[in-house]
Amino acid sequence: MGFVTATADRLTIRNFIETVGIFRTLSSSGFRRFSTYRQATVAATATNTMFGFVRTYVMLAVAGSAVAAGGQVAGYDAPQLVTYVWAGQGLIGVVALWGWTELADRIRSGDVVTDLLRPVHPVLGYLLPDLGRAAYALLTRFVVPVAVGGLVFDMYLPQRAATYPLFAASVLLAVLVCFAGRFLVNAAGYWLLDTRGVLMGWAVCAGMLGGLYFPIRFLPDGLAAAVYLGTPFPSVLQIPLDVLVERDPPAGQLGLLGIQALWAGLLLTACVLVQRRAERRLVVQGG
Amino acid sequence: MNVIEAHGLRKDFTVRVRKGLLRRESRAVAAVDGVDLTVRRGELLGYLGPNGAGKSTTLKMLTGVLHPSGGTVAVCGLTPVPQRIQLARRIGVVFGQRSQLWWDLPLGDSYELLRHIYRVPAAEHAARLRRCRDLLELDPFLDTPVRQLSLGQRMRGELTAALLHGPEVLFLDEPTIGLDVVSKQAVRGFLAELGATGDTTIVLTTHDLADIERLCRRIVVIDHGRVVHDGGIDALHARYGSQRRVVVDFDTAPAAVPTLPGVHLEATAGPRLTFTLDGTASVGALVSALSALGGLRDLAVTEPEIEEVIARLYRS
């Protein structure tokens, strides 16, 4: 067989099936890539679990007598806060809140060139493996802290069956929003020599405004609404947790998912535009 | 039929120079300065130049990675930048200093991923992979994660990855850089065989001139972003006055030295004489004249080395 049989693109059912194949294969590649680092998974899961205990005790101490007597703080009772903390500890790994510098590293080294030589849009080329990575994290880094939290503390379980698919959809949207945010932060590397400052800014904002350090609902209503609507960070962590602990009625849950979908659409569009702009000014020297 | 056509291709980079505490001055540096290049289907082209001459930048413009600052370019009838994704399916690229493989995955898994990304039918993919496995001896490390491969193994893996979708044009940017002799020979042998079929057009940039001598009939030399030579190796020798050498040992130093047109005595060291011959001078005539002197013990003719020619060209 000769080597040359390359053909032009086709608009057929077969083409569609092949596209689905690309999605599946690239996603599963992310799953396989991250599953090779088992010790890192164990270390990260252990850390998330340990901090789960710390955060739970701090949260319950801060919430104080109000939740101890069965009452609520900012719409959460004690079991809801416990679930909020432990599911949050699990989601850190699923959405990859902080740790992703692959694109920035590849821009700095010039390896980003090979991303541009593949017949897949670079944003898609990073997004699909990230979904596979998130699936792997869901099975490992999410399950373990939630199971430990459930064994040791009195956790809140959703009372409405619809909450489960809503939570699943919210987690998916959170992964999309977080990926897009991380992609944009990394893409700053096209313009900046060093992206550490931007990455640190993202990490601080994602933790503080994402609801990791404290639920954003602890803030005054107006300020909380501004953070939900004006920044993407609550869409990364706070909203899936609010959906899971049924902090709001079904209509409120749907509204929160709407906010996430809006941010996912906005940020992914921004990724495509930034990538297009970055390609125009790309400089790769030295081979 | 031409698969690559570039006319007046330019790429300017902006360089900022500090001119004071806060002031900076920008100036444009032409990395590629009006390159004209046409490559026919099936050609194996050597693209040479010193460091910083603009070789890799040209390749990146031909593959759609970099936007040209000026000129026109078409590869496989496509305009590389706006049609980069369509073009990517029809070309293969190996950058010797970059990897297109997935660092964390076994080599075989990378190939399976590439099959889906390039939408190659399973049977075609398997046939091409089988051929590469045979020619490049991939089997011993096909299940090894890419991060654990040696440079030579990885480069053979990279070549395979660039070929599995059956590209019409293969761009190779220093594919033998850092390889040991055996790996270099394996890569060269493979490229020679691939080039001999005439199906795949190959553009090869390298600093290893043995690659060029072994593989390329046509050489394009670029310097300071401009093409300074486009032709065969023989034309390069003729143009830059390559000279053959004849080294002769006598029993004792001869009293007189024959003078022939185009022959120059370069050095005398006791009984050893070294002559240089212009392109038109005859070695046979010189040998006859030297034999007539008597006492001829040994004689060696050395062909001009391409490294010498290229070095002369770079310096000129």
- DSSP state letters, chain A: --S--------SHHHHHHHHHHHHHHHHHHHHHHHT-HHHHHHHHHHHHHHHHHHHHHHHHHHHHHHHTT--BTTB-HHHHHHHHHHHHHHHHHHT-S---HHHHHHHHTTHHHHHTSSS-HHHHHHHHHHHHHHHHIIIIIHHHHHHHHHHS-----SSTTHHHHHHHHHHHHHHHHHHHHHHHHHGGGT-S--HHHHHHHHHHHHHHTTSSS-GGGS-HHHHHHHHHH-SHHHHTHHHHHHHTT-S-HHHHHHHHHHHHHHHHHHHHHHHHHHHHHHHT------
Same domain (yes/no): B246, B225: no
Going from the C-alpha of B241 to that of each of A7, A21, B255, B312, the distances in angstroms are 46, 58, 30, 10
Assess if residue B138 is contained within a domain: yes
- Convert the pLDDT of each residue in A67-85 to its tens digit: 777 777 888 888 999 999 9
- The answer on B254 and B198 residing in a single domain is no
The residue out of B231, B263, B293 marking a domain boundary is: B231
Give yes or no: residues B58 and B129 share one domain. yes
- Are B132 and B85 contained in the same domain? yes
Same domain, B213 and B145: yes
How many Cα neighbours within 13 Å face the side chain of B112?
Answer: 14
Residue B172 belongs to a domain: yes
Looking at the complex, does the CB of residue B109 fall below 8 Å from at least one CB of chain A? yes
- Specify whether B225 is located in the same domain as B135: yes
Which is it for the CA torsion A88, A89, A90, A92, positive or negative? Answer: positive
pLDDT tens by residue, B246-298: 999 999 888 888 888 889 898 998 899 999 888 778 888 999 998 888 889 99
Q: What is the pLDDT of residue A284?
A: 60
Of A6, A33, A116, the CB nearest to B65: A116
Indicate if B227 and B255 belong to the same structural domain. no
ipTM beyond cut 0.90 = no
User: What's the mean per-residue pLDDT of chain B?
Assistant: 88
**Within-domain flag for A231:** yes
Which range marks the domain in which residue B77 is found?
2-231
With respect to residue A42, please indicate whether it lies within any of the assigned structural domains. Answer: yes
User: Which letter does DSSP use for residue B145 in this model?
Assistant: B
Q: What is the pLDDT along chain A (287 residues), one digit of tens a residue?
A: 444 444 444 556 766 777 787 888 888 888 888 888 889 999 999 999 999 999 999 988 887 777 777 777 888 888 999 999 999 999 999 999 987 899 999 988 888 888 999 999 999 999 999 999 999 999 999 999 999 999 999 999 999 999 999 999 999 999 999 999 999 999 999 988 788 899 999 999 999 999 999 999 999 999 999 999 999 999 999 999 999 999 999 999 999 999 999 999 999 999 999 999 998 877 665 55
Do residue B168 and residue A111 have CB atoms under 8 angstroms apart? no
Number of domains in chain A: 1
Query: For residue B203, is pLDDT > 90?
Result: yes
Query: B231, B261, B292 — which closes off a domain?
Result: B231
Q: For position B243, what pLDDT does the model report?
A: 77
Least confident of A139-153, A179-193, B13-27, B202-216: B13-27
**What's B106's domain CATH number?**
3.40.50.300
B155 and B264 together in one domain: no
How many structural domains comprise chain B? 2
Chain A residues with CB under 8 Å of B116 CB are: 18, 21-22, 24-26
Q: Considering CB atoms only, which of B85, B112, B128 is closest to A3? A: B128
Kindly report the CATH number assigned to the domain that includes residue B260: 3.30.70
**Is residue B35 included in any domain, yes or no?**
yes
Kindly report the nearest CA distance between residue A175 and chain B, in angstroms. 22
Report the distance separating Cα B276 and Cα B267, nearest Å: 9
Residue where a domain terminates, one of B231, B254, B277: B231
| Same domain (yes/no): B175, B274 | no
Q: Which of residues 127-146 of B touch A (CB under 8 A)?
A: 127-128, 131, 145
Same domain, residue pair B129 and B252: no
In a domain, A276, yes or no: yes
Task: Indicate the pTM of the whole model.
Answer: 0.83
Under 8 Å between Cβ of B211 and B183? no
Do B129 and B253 belong together in one domain? no
B153 within domain boundaries: yes
* Residue span of the structural domain in which A58 resides: 13-280
B124 to chain A, any CB pair closer than 8 A? The answer is yes
| Domain-located, residue B236 | no
Our CA-based measurement puts residue A231 at a distance from the nearest CA of chain B, in whole angstroms, of 33
CB contact under 8 A, B65 and A111: no
Is B85 in the A-facing interface, judged by CB distances under 8 Å? Answer: yes
Q: Which residues of A touch B160 (CB under 8 A)?
A: none
Residue B148 DSSP code: G
In a domain, B85, yes or no: yes
Confidence tier at B171 by pLDDT (50, 70, 90):
very high
B105/A36 CB distance under 8 A: yes
Does B237 map to a domain? no
Residues of B in contact with A16 (CB under 8 A): none
Query: Do residues B252 and B177 share a domain?
Result: no
Centroid of chain to Cα B89: 23
